[in-house]
């Protein structure tokens, strides 16, 4: 069992890359720099390789996460809100197959390990994933394009 400080949060990011541009790893590094510059302590940054046969997979095949220690949840949410809005507010819904659906997830504590294993070993339905997260407190940011990135961001 992992015991975390009451001011420890987990953030996850996925699905920011299109076929021709974008890089989730680059964007996540930018987010970590923003959080660090805002006084957050960044711990346990991780990159997770996802199931490679997912129908909605974009160019990349990884999601990223880190634990963050910060003593003001409201301020942390403001920082994340401003960062996400500045990066992805112009992304619109698209009929293009495999278009990006950037999703940022904030949780108070680490998500169950089975979420990770389900995601790296097989297909995960978005509605099923949302249902499996219904028992925890979380905050989600996504563009108008959708929130398929929730699958990867919750796994990381």
Q: Domain locations in the chain?
A: 8-155
Of residues 76 and 125, the one with the higher pLDDT is 76
Tokens of 72: 């003001």
CA distances from 94 to 91, 101, 145 (A): 9, 10, 6
Percentages (nearest 5) of helix, strand, coil residues in the chain: 35, 25, 45
Percent of the chain with pLDDT over 70: 83
pLDDT at 75 over 90: yes
Tokens of 113: 């390990």
Tell me, what's the pLDDT at 88? Answer: 85
What whole-number distance in Å separates Cα of residue 132 and Cα of residue 94?
27
Average pLDDT of the chain to the nearest whole number:
86
The CATH fold assigned to 8-155 is Alpha-Beta Plaits (3.30.70)
- Beta-strand ranges (E) seen in the chain are 8-14, 41-49, 62-69, 103-107, 138-142
CB contact at 8 A, 65 and 48: yes
pLDDT in tens, 9-52: 999 999 887 666 678 899 999 999 999 999 999 999 999 888 76
pTM of the model: 0.86
In the block, which residue shows the tokens 């989730």? 24
What whole-number distance in Å separates Cα of residue 17 and Cα of residue 36?
23
Of residues 119 and 57, the one with the higher pLDDT is 119
What whole-number distance in Å separates Cα of residue 6 and Cα of residue 111?
15
Tell me, what's the pLDDT at 56? Answer: 64
pLDDT in tens, 121-144: 888 888 999 898 988 999 999 988
């Amino acid at each position: 069992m992992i015991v975390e400080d009451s001011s420890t949060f987990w953030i996850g990011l996925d699905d920011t890359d299109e076929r021709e541009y974008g890089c989730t790893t680059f964007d996540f590094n930018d987010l970590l720099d923003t959080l660090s510059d805002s006084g957050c302590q960044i711990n346990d940054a991780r990159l997770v390789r996802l199931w490679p046969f997912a129908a909605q997979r974009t160019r990349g095949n990884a999601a990223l996460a880190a634990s963050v220690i910060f003593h003001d949840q409201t301020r942390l949410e403001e920082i994340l809100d401003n960062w996400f809005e500045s990066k992805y507010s112009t992304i619109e819904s698209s009929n293009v197959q495999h278009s990006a659906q950037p999703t940022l997830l904030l949780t108070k504590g680490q998500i169950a390990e089975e979420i990770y294993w389900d995601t790296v070993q097989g297909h995960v339905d978005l509605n099923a994933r949302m249902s499996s997260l219904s028992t925890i407190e979380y905050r989600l940011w996504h563009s108008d394009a959708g929130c398929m990135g929730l699958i990867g961001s919750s796994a990381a």
